[in-house]
Amino acid sequence: MVTVYTDGSCLGNPGPGGWAWLVPGGRFESGADAHTTNQRMEVTASLRALESLRRVAGADGILVRSDSTYVVNCFAQRWWAGWRRRNWRNSQGKPVANRDLWEPLLDLALDAAVPVRFEWVKGHSGDPCNDLVDELASSAASTGAGRAGSF
């Protein structure tokens, strides 16, 4: 199973934002958006990670470790099932925020060909990979530019 850490950052909310993902001891990628929200960057980080890693993960699957309860709880508490059942309305009957990102993320995360699991990790707690992905996302938000590479 491939483990990937994801994070999003926003300077102001809304404001300039950044997202990042990294595989411990492997590849990483980050990107920026000039005007966005923290929640959009958190979802984008997971989406970009799955888009990039599903080819290499295959049937072994992907473990996404995120400090975003917004992302992790969508899967752990199956928010997505209610959204789909209610025609993309939340429990208060309002349109689901960030649907344009959630729909492609759900398509990838729920595809049985590549199993995906989400796990919450406490942010800013000394987890080296979480701290590094936070730095990558924050740097993208502050510079307006992303990076890609390997460790």
- From the candidates 17, 29, 31, 67, give the one annotated as an active-site residue: 67
Question: In a 10 Å sphere around its CB, with 0-12 CB exposed, 13-18 middle and 19+ buried, how is residue 150 labelled?
Answer: exposed
The catalytic position among 124, 126, 127, 149 is: 124
Active site residue 103: no
29 is known as an active-site residue: no
* CB-facing half-sphere around the CA of 79: CA atoms within 13 A: 19
- Active-site hit among 8, 17, 18, 31: 8
Q: Which of 7, 31, 33, 58 is catalytic?
A: 7
**Whether 67 is catalytic:** yes
Which backbone phi and psi does 124 adopt, to 5 degrees? 55, 40
| 35 catalytically annotated | no
Backbone φ and ψ for 82, nearest 5 degrees, come out as -65, -40
- From the candidates 17, 18, 33, 134, give the one annotated as an active-site residue: 134
7 is an active site residue: yes
Residues annotated as catalytic (active site), given as ranges: 7-8, 42, 67, 124, 134
